[in-house]
Structure 1
Amino acid sequence: MSSTRGRASTTTAASIRLFVPVLVALEFFSGLVQGWIVPLLGEIGRVFQVPGGATSWVLAVGLLSSAVSVPLIAMLGDRFGQQRLLVVSVALAAAGSLLVAFAPAFAFVLLGAAVQGPVAAFLPLAMALLKAHRQKSANKDIGLMVGALTFGVAAGSVLGGVAMDVIGSLLWVQLIPALGIALFVPLVRVLVPEGRPDASRMIDWKGAALLGAGLVGVMYGLSEAPQRGWLSEHALIPLVVGILALVLFLRVERRAPSPLVDLPAIRSSHLGNPIFIGFLVAVTMFGNQSPPVLFLSANPAVTGYGAGLSTTGVGIVLAVSAGSLTLGSFSSFLLAKVLGRSRALVLACLLSAAALVCMAFVPSSVLLFTLWLAIGGIGMGVVLGVLPGVVIERAPVAAPASASGVYNTARTIGGSLAGAFVASTTLLVTSAGTSSGNTAPSMQAFQIIWMVFAALNVAGAVCAVFISRPPAAVHAEAEFELVEEAAARR
């Protein structure tokens, strides 16, 4: 019996040493999967003979699936074990990726994107596992994971197109990330230790259904509104249904014995402020994906602004921006350690705001515009690296994944609002027609977008001032984690 106990302790100790590198690598491949398909959308449209606008539904379906599945998966993780649900999520992401690769028709591509949605649950589940096993170093580990995730997205966005040019087969190109993520199913199962599931936690199926219906309605309405009009039935009906479902969801949650979103627990754990900051920053991060592309590719002789860059030139500038985002994420732990998390967040938000103001009014050259993007990316990366640590540190011990899931869902909603705002602004505030007869966004449209985003970052900086020190319960949890690690070594 003693030898069996010794082998179990050795296995636990080995898992604790290895599971952080596994989680960091998993986040890199998570980002790779998410970024890989973006440059392939044109080829997907050509192969399946669908119009260019229809291919955007691949990303929209994936986003909807993530928004709906992440809260439910996080809740199931707190009930049955975060490691177990992480294995399930990785398996679903791999299955969805393989379905996209082998899809015989475009409908199966969309189905694969939906099955792939739980890829967004990797980070909340991983954060909960860090709270269970490495509370003391969780902030540093989360910074590494977020940095690996952003680097993976950037690498996928570049390498997907390169692989397509070199290999020439859409199936084989899409198999590369699919097989990579599939390898992590056994790795996570063997090398990642289980968290602290709460068997007494009930499953809030009614809340999950209402939240899912609400998010689908709101996000679908937001995606349709810019093109079809905010008062069209295609946008207005889903928005109204979605909002009503979310209102009903909040009413149900107040009476649920184990709510999907425990609002009293969020208030008592001081989670509302960091979640709100995450929402504000997500509006900027997701919303500022397309405006730089439109600006840099615009012909200044026609529109009066822009750089007239080719697709390759735009890609190089965006690669610099993505690299700065990754740099900010990787350096977030050090900056927070030197300045304190509150000051680091304030500085990062103000840095991003200043960069956005410069983009709006000082875009005199490609070099300067790239510099503003890089500065803003560093600030954004620091926020993305610091905030998840704050969230998981304050999360209730019985529901760490659920709290992380709420943070992730708030960011998803922020991204959807940002997309609708950017699309509506660029469609409404236009300049004179181009040589092809089409209208283009005016410089005022970009200035409105970037100044609104700058204001949101300033609001985030103000909120970050009130990020208080962690409650005393967190220190007790850290002491428990140290004792647990010492027992594992013995």
Structure 2
Amino acid sequence: MAFVILLSGIAQGYLTPLLPAVGLSLHISTVGQNNIYLLSQVAFAVMTPLLSRLGDLYGHRRLLRVSIAMVAGGSLLIAVRPSTVTLAVGVVLQGAVVGFFPLLVGILRSRAPERNRSGISLLVGVLLLSIGVGGLVAGALSERHAEAGLWTAVPVAVLAVVAGIVLPPSDAPRGGRFHYGAAVLLTAGLVALVLVLAQGSAWGWRAPRTLALAVAAVVLLAIWVTVERRSANPLVSVRMLSNPRLAVVSCFTFCASFGTIGFLGANALFLGASRSATGYGMDLGPQAIATISLAMVTAGFAGSALTPRLTRRLGDRAVLASAGGLVALGFLGMILFHGTLTQYVVCALVVGLATGLFESITRTLSAEAVAEQETALAVGLNELALSLGAAIGAAVIGAFFAAHVKAGSTHIAESGYLWGWGACAVIALAGTALALRYRSPRETNPAHGQHLAQSGELT
């Protein structure tokens, strides 16, 4: 499982930093590079619920193997024959990485329930570390030849294919049918929503096409909910969406990812900003920025590794709320202490630590909130909340940047960062308030806690 997640992290972390250099080498315009990135975001949003549901219906291992094959094929295509077309097709195929975590958790919960919590924390840690390492390795390979870094994911893809072959199947019960009409409605609605979030600041939030897409997204998703309620074989059970524990965890995930993932682009901009030209920033180059990013994901690995032990001692709700509080603390620290590199990095490491905590605890609680046969879909919904939170967070921060450009220049004013960090802190505090409303099944049903203790999940 760790080898499969390693491919997920590498695939998510290696390509985006290479796009400027690869785009220049292949004569892909800035708009074209942005469109390739946009395609990957659309693929993430669309494939998350589809792969999760198909896994619950037809077997987690079967769909995991399909997903690994798609990511491996996309990575090889990009490396062997890089062009605008192959990059576009490749990133869409690589979008299948969003199925890895839900499908792996489905296998883990079925075959080794006593290792559910410790296993998820380990997989989250590997994911975070591999995202950081992927960017560093790709950058090093591309120093002399921009396109060399495109091979970063290929050796890892081979290991993941082998791992997918030897993994056991899950024993989760299967049944039902795939609702194609609901899949079309959900796909169209999510594509419209992601396009609005990704392109709204560039098109203008009041532009006709932005408003038209926003209306289309709302209408399509509303129709999808209606269809799902009436279906005997829903794509995504609306009953699952009304599960109070799953609802709290998913909303918390949205709030936490709004800042922790949504601000990553802004983090690189601030670290690379020239203090002499802007009055702020750290004047760092790409390698130094990548090193700080790696330090942040290393802190995330530590947070993920600590999560099972903390939940045993403090309880699920306390750890969930602590993760949100740490996110808010990190961004409030950036507002108050960003004058020196040391101060800023300490605040960034707090955010990194919180990222590991929240990604581990939310995936664990999502899996445990539903019946075993719905595990992959529940974790998939949490992944979708994470993706949407990150996309909306990035869009909001981008809007603050656009509204705070220094007169007569293209530089973002320091106030733009202050407003962005402030928004991340406020949303994180909202998530913390939600976390305090979480009720563990051990609190509401003592027998459930006894069952978990006997199975080993609490030890």
What TM-score comes out, normalization by structure 1 length?
0.87
Tell me by how many angstroms 1:65 deviates: 0.7
2:185, 2:220 within 8 Å by CA — same for their partners in 1? Answer: yes
Aligned to 1:488: none
* 1:235-273 Cα deviation digits (max 9, x unpaired): 222222122111111111111112222122343462111
Aligned to 2:153: 177
Aligned to 1:69: 47
User: In the alignment, is residue 364 of structure 1 matched against residue 335 of structure 2?
Assistant: no
SS in 2 for 1:99: helix
Structure 1 unpaired stretches of 5+: 1-22, 483-490
2:311, 2:319 within 8 Å by CA — same for their partners in 1? Answer: yes
2:272, 2:281 within 8 Å by CA — same for their partners in 1? Answer: yes
Q: How much is the aligned-residue C-alpha RMSD, in angstroms?
A: 2.1
Tell me by how many angstroms 1:404 deviates: 1.2
Aligned to 1:406: 381
Residue 204 of structure 1, aligned match among 179, 190, 195: 179
Tell me by how many angstroms 1:442 deviates: 1.4
Q: Mapping of 1:324-363 within 5 angstroms?
A: 324-363=299-338
Tell me by how many angstroms 1:47 deviates: 2.5
Q: Give the structure with higher Rg (CA).
A: 1
* 1:69-88 Cα deviation digits (max 9, x unpaired): 12111111111111111011
Q: Give 1:184's aligned amino acid.
A: A
Q: Give 2:433's aligned amino acid.
A: V
* 1:141-188 Cα deviation digits (max 9, x unpaired): 10100110011100001111112226x362x54234123213322422
Aligned to 1:469: 440
Tell me by how many angstroms 1:304 deviates: 2.1
Tell me by how many angstroms 1:335 deviates: 2.0
Tell me by how many angstroms 1:474 deviates: 5.7
* 1:364-421 Cα deviation digits (max 9, x unpaired): 2011100100012112211111111111011222211111111111111112211211
Please identify, of 222-231 and 87-96, the stretch whose mean Cα deviation from structure 2 is larger.
Answer: 222-231
User: In the alignment, is residue 187 of structure 1 matched against residue 163 of structure 2?
Assistant: yes
Aligned to 1:227: 202
Aligned to 1:17: none
2:282, 2:341 within 8 Å by CA — same for their partners in 1? Answer: yes
2:22, 2:146 within 8 Å by CA — same for their partners in 1? Answer: no
Q: Mapping of 1:285-300 within 5 angstroms?
A: 285-300=260-275
SS in 2 for 1:439: coil
Residue 425 of structure 1, aligned match among 385, 392, 400: 400
Aligned to 1:57: 35
Write the distance in 1 (CA, Å) between the matches of 2:454 and 2:104. 19
Write the distance in 2 (CA, Å) between the matches of 1:197 and 1:216. 31
Aligned to 2:234: 259
Write the distance in 1 (CA, Å) between the matches of 2:349 and 2:78. 33
SS in 2 for 1:466: coil
Change (3 A) 1:449 1:245: same
Write the distance in 2 (CA, Å) between the matches of 1:208 and 1:479. 39
SS in 1 for 2:174: coil
Residue 149 of structure 1, aligned match among 118, 127, 137: 127
* 1:257-295 Cα deviation digits (max 9, x unpaired): 122221223434621110111111111122111222222
Q: Mapping of 1:148-167 within 5 angstroms?
A: 148-165=126-143
1:133, 1:481 within 8 Å by CA — same for their partners in 2? Answer: no
What TM-score comes out, normalization by structure 2 length?
0.93
Tell me by how many angstroms 1:192 deviates: 2.7
Residue 270 of structure 1, aligned match among 239, 245, 251: 245
1:91, 1:182 within 8 Å by CA — same for their partners in 2? Answer: no
Tell me by how many angstroms 1:475 deviates: 6.0
Aligned residues: 453
Tell me by how many angstroms 1:315 deviates: 2.6
Structure 2 unpaired stretches of 5+: none
Aligned to 2:410: 439
User: In the alignment, is residue 26 of structure 1 matched against residue 4 of structure 2?
Assistant: yes
Write the distance in 1 (CA, Å) between the matches of 2:34 and 2:67. 24
Change (3 A) 1:207 1:439: same
Write the distance in 1 (CA, Å) between the matches of 2:129 and 2:284. 24
